[in-house]
Chain A
Amino acid sequence: MLFLLVVNCANAQNRFGIMPQFNGSFKVGDLLKVNAKLENRFIFYQNPANDLGGRSEYERTDIELVAAASRGYLKNFGVGYLVRRSDIDGRFLHRLIQQYSLGQKIGGLQFAHRFRTDQTFEKDEEVQYRLRYRISFEKPLSGLQVDPREYYLKFNNEYLGVLQARKTNLEIRLLTAIGYNHSEDDQIELGLDYRAENIIGNSTENLLWLTIGWYHKF
């Protein structure tokens, strides 16, 4: 399937690149858990080429902060902010995030559900509203649970409804990764992230990213 996706991306007008990310989480007192994410995108190949005829380029950098309640009635509810610097014109984009997440263990599989809404603000653009749902799970590659110094498989699937300038659209994301749980505080992952954007209409874009992620708990 991944091979087909790669071929699809190569044939259509699409993008393929690498997306390294670092996630750091820490507690603020007894009530709040904060996750900070730094994510970059570098395009290796794109079709059509950019305005200067380039096939590869640095695309963007995201910094995201989400604070979620770790206890009480609002447990697992969170709010966040993302700032993005895009290399296309050096502009900044700002996004407000609201989310609710929950974990669920079924047999040897650990599931996580994430419900999100976000509002994106960008100069000379209408505000973009998105409604998102993501299901993720991990499967230990040894035993019934992921212990320190063990590998796991991670899969996630996200659906995004988009509303901007009274027009709606849909985006679907799929990720498959292999992870190494170095300790309770550190996980390293390598995977492929496929995204189909602007599904409604004729301008669907296929994106395939090689993802490298490091999750660290401070």
Chain B
Amino acid sequence: MKKYGLCLVFVLIYLFSAAQQKYERETGINSSQAPDTAVSYMEKLFGTDARVRWYREESLQGITVEAKTKLAEGTYSVKFDTTGRLIDIELTQREKEVSDKVMEQISSHLASAYDRYRIRKIQVQWTGAPETLYQLITGKSVEGRYTVRYEIEHFGRIRRDSKPYESLFDSEGKHIETKEIIPRSINHLIY
């Protein structure tokens, strides 16, 4: 009985560790294949002239539609569900664009979690009502409540083994979760 209990613990550990990995599959789509409400929201946010690329993304959490556009301040990624309901807005940022206090918290977490680390990409993530986020992105006075988080893609080395990860931090830089990114094999590029 003790043996079965031990097996169950191993199975649970395996399932838990699998859940901490990031799987995504995305395919490019036309704007005509995106929900109408999502297309109108993007036009409202960035105007009708903005060059927007649309993607259909499958992950363990389900299917989403993502719109990406590159502007002077960075690349915006706006995520919707398949009915066109807004999920979140992300904007790429440089380290110096994140407040010192938040960056210190993030760096301190990464320094304690890994022997060495290197940040690859920072995205600030906003969630809230579509109208609130519209006011925020377009620089109007914001009336509603919204949440700020930071999504960091980074490499982390633990005991001589370096792997890519994606970590999420709250608005103050407090760590929320980390997922290991499973990179695609590049054997066909090396050999």
Interface of A toward B, CB cutoff 8 Å: 23, 25, 35, 37, 66, 71-73, 75, 101, 103, 110-112, 114, 136-138, 142-148, 150, 154, 156, 179, 184, 187, 189, 213, 215, 217
Contacts and interface: CB of A to CB of B under 8 A. Distances in A.
B32 interface: no
Interface of B: 25-28, 55, 160-162, 183-191
Nearest to B25: A147
Given A142-B27, A143-B27, A137 B185 contact: no
Contacts of A103: 183, 186, 189
A144 B55 contact: yes
Q: Which of B160, B185, B187, B191 has the most CB atoms of chain A within a 10 A radius of its CB?
A: B191
Contact of A35 (B25, B27, B191): B191
B118 to A, nearest CB: 12
Contacts of A37: 191
A112 B186 contact: yes
Nearest to A64: B191
Given A71-B160, A72-B160, A179 B188 contact: yes
A136 B189 contact: yes
Given A144-B55, A184-B184, A154 B160 contact: no
A182 to B, nearest CB: 12
**Majority SS at the chain B contact face:** mixed
Contacts of B185: 25, 184, 217
Given A145-B184, A147-B27, A184-B185, A75 B191 contact: no
B185 to A, nearest CB: 6
A103 B189 CA distance: 9
A123 B191 CA distance: 27
Contacts of B28: 142-144
B191 A148 contact: no
Contact of A156 (B55, B161, B189): B189
Contacts of B189: 103, 110-112, 136-138, 154, 156
Contacts of B186: 103, 110, 112
Contact of A217 (B160, B183, B187): B187
21 contacts: A25-B185, A35-B187, A35-B190, A71-B160, A75-B161, A103-B186, A111-B189, A114-B190, A136-B189, A138-B189, A142-B27, A143-B28, A144-B28, A145-B26, A146-B184, A147-B27, A213-B188, A215-B187, A215-B188, A215-B191, A217-B185
B162 A154 contact: no
Nearest to B26: A143
A78 to B, nearest CB: 9
Nearest to A73: B160
